[in-house]
Structure 1
Amino acid sequence: MGFAAASVHEGPPVAVTEEERRLARTMPQPRRADFLIGRSALHRAVRAAGTSAGAVLCDGPRPRLPEELSASISHSRGVAVAVAGPADRFPALGVDLELGELPVRAAHLVLREPEQPLLGPPRTAASRLLTLYSAKEAAFKALSPLIGADLRGLRDLRLTPDGTGFLAAATGHPEPYVRVSVRHLPQGGVLCWALLSD
């Protein structure tokens, strides 16, 4: 599996195709900038995984990937990250980067009632909610292509703590499930990635 990052602070994205640049020109800002740095991170991740991909355009909000490739992209505040790998080895991948904050009052949008204890004590609830949100985002990206329309949103996922990360599955679907790894970043950010678990 390959992982890579790109940032608007690097200047014009270099790891993108001309076809992706043409598509980006049809988008409003800041969507255009997010798209370009996301594709730059994706192409870097693809190379890091030892594979290749031509232009990666869009199917709605998702990247239109070649059948032999599995990948996921996330961006936050001018930084993009991507994971990629051969689909036969990594049939489900998800990544999420969060560099902002999430108010505790938004917890009901992310968690169902049985998951509320995962927030922990009030003094750490805001940072914990950001971690739970990011973990669910990564899991959603990995599982939604496998589960389809039954997985409508983050509340349709359930998280179970597992060491330093989580196991995630869709409510009503005991399988498949993904293992979500979590890395806390300086100044309150969080990076999560999800892989199909055995």
Structure 2
Amino acid sequence: MVDWPEGVVWAVSGPVDPAGLFPVERQAIARAVPSRQAEFAGGRDAARAALAQLGLPPQPIPKGADRAPVWPEGVVASLSHTAGLCLAVAARARDWRALGVDLERALPLDPGLVPTIASPAELDRLAPLEPGLAALHVFGAKEAAYKAQYPLTRSLFGFAAMEALLPDAGLRMVAATGLGQGAELPMRQWRNGGLLLSLCALPQLNRGDFAGPGYEVFPCGLTEPDGRKVKV
């Protein structure tokens, strides 16, 4: 089992018929191709299943002006899609400031993409993973961290604004944007069953169990869901 942080719930879905969407959701994807509509509907399906675990009734999850999901009041959540899978995570805002999740097929990235995502230092820290797979870990972590910070800051920035300190720590902002230069973002990653899951969960500052400038630093070792170290 993935050791989700306390209070964080999750659900998965495959692509589904968009006919089951709420009208405001169908309107948001009216011009999308059928495959994108089914993927969008699967994400909303997973999101409502996760919200149900928090005791919330089925309700629309519209897109905001920035195209990001608009979550119910008092909830933080995040979505990720990869080929044939839609994952949603959610929690009460009283427990967590923000969540960011990324799900990827655990396949090495194209060598030409590696330098655009990860620095030599980031890759070296993840040795003995080969560069394409190490870069995938960096990509997943940065995607999850970006999603977590965005609802708090509405900041847009690229991969170079964050430094991945995997596998011994999370990420650090190296640019004066987002949560601020030097801010630390916690990260958990699991690689199993052909998938790489990355989760960034920012705790409320009154929890009293954080490290660094207001953020809890979770263990970030490359582990399988049962806690065993990944064999590379």
TM-score category, normalised to shorter length = 0.7 to 0.9
Q: 1:90-137 CA deviation, whole Å, 9 max, x = no partner?
A: 11100001026321321222123542423524x622222212211111
- In structure 1, the gaps of 5 or more residues are none
Distance of 2:137 and 2:93 partners within structure 1: 27
* Greater percentage in helix: 1
Moved more, 103-112 or 81-90: 103-112
Distance of 1:66 and 1:7 partners within structure 2: 23
Q: Is the 2:126–2:166 contact (alpha carbons within 8 Å) kept by the matching residues of 1?
A: no
Letter of the structure 1 residue corresponding to residue 72 of structure 2: P
- In structure 2, the gaps of 5 or more residues are 1-7, 176-180, 203-214, 217-232
User: Pick from 171, 174, 184: which aligns with 1:171?
Assistant: 174
Partner of 1:111 in structure 2?
118
Distance of 2:75 and 2:84 partners within structure 1: 25
Q: Where do 1:35-114 residues align within 5 Å?
A: 35-52=40-57, 54-59=59-64, 60-99=66-105, 101=107, 102-114=109-121
Letter of the structure 2 residue corresponding to residue 56 of structure 1: I
Partner of 1:28 in structure 2?
33
Displacement of 1:17 after TM fit?
3.1
User: Pick from 132, 155, 164: which aligns with 1:159?
Assistant: 164
* Greater percentage in strand: 1
Partner of 2:136 in structure 1?
130
Identity %: 26
Distance of 2:119 and 2:74 partners within structure 1: 35
Displacement of 1:29 after TM fit?
2.9
What TM-score, normalized to structure 1?
0.82
Pick closer, same or farther for the CA change 1:56–1:132 going to 2, 3 Å: same
Distance of 1:87 and 1:140 partners within structure 2: 18
Q: How many residues align?
A: 190
Partner of 2:199 in structure 1?
193
- Aligned CA RMSD, in angstroms, stands at 2.4
What TM-score, normalized to structure 2?
0.72
